[in-house]
């Protein structure tokens, strides 16, 4: 609720993906004209491109490491040489 209060005051929007029928925190004598998604994207801009790329690359690296260690543990063990 607190987040929507700040968004409604700053961008004059309501709802995230599409505009809501009523305001969340303002009087309902007028209807909101737009959703907040476009305003949020314009405000943030391209600030999350580098961290996003780092997360994607890291996830692929972790997946490769998982497959590699899984293959190591799935090897068939050698026969017991001492027959114990």
Looking at the structure of the chain, the number of domains it has is: 2
Residue 84 lies in a domain: no
d(CA 67, CA 63): 6
Q: What is the pLDDT of residue 84?
A: 58
* 14 and 39 share one domain: yes
83 belongs to a structural domain: no
Residue 55, pLDDT score: 97
Q: Do the Cβ atoms of 13 and 35 come closer than 8 Å?
A: yes
> Both 28 and 54 in a single domain?
no
pTM as predicted: 0.48
Alpha-carbon span 14 to 18, nearest angstrom: 8
> What is the helix (H) or strand (E) element at residue 42, kind and residue range?
helix 37-44
pLDDT in tens, the chain (84 residues): 567 778 778 888 887 777 788 887 888 788 888 888 888 888 887 778 889 999 999 999 999 999 999 988 877 666 666 665
What is the dihedral angle through the alpha carbons of 52, 53, 57, 58, rounded to the nearest 10 degrees? -40
Task: Print the domain residue range for 12.
Answer: 1-44
* Structure confidence at residue 1 (pLDDT): 59
40 shares a domain with 2: yes
């Amino acid at each position: 609720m607190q987040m929507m209060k700040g968004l409604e005051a700053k961008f004059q929007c309501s709802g995230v993906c599409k505009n809501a029928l009523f305001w969340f925190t303002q009087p309902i004598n007028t209807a909101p004209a737009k959703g907040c998604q476009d305003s949020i994207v314009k405000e943030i801009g391209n600030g999350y491109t580098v961290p996003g790329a780092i997360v994607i690359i890291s996830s692929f690296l972790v997946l490769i490491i998982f497959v590699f260690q899984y293959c190591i543990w799935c090897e068939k063990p050698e026969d017991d040489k001492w027959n114990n």
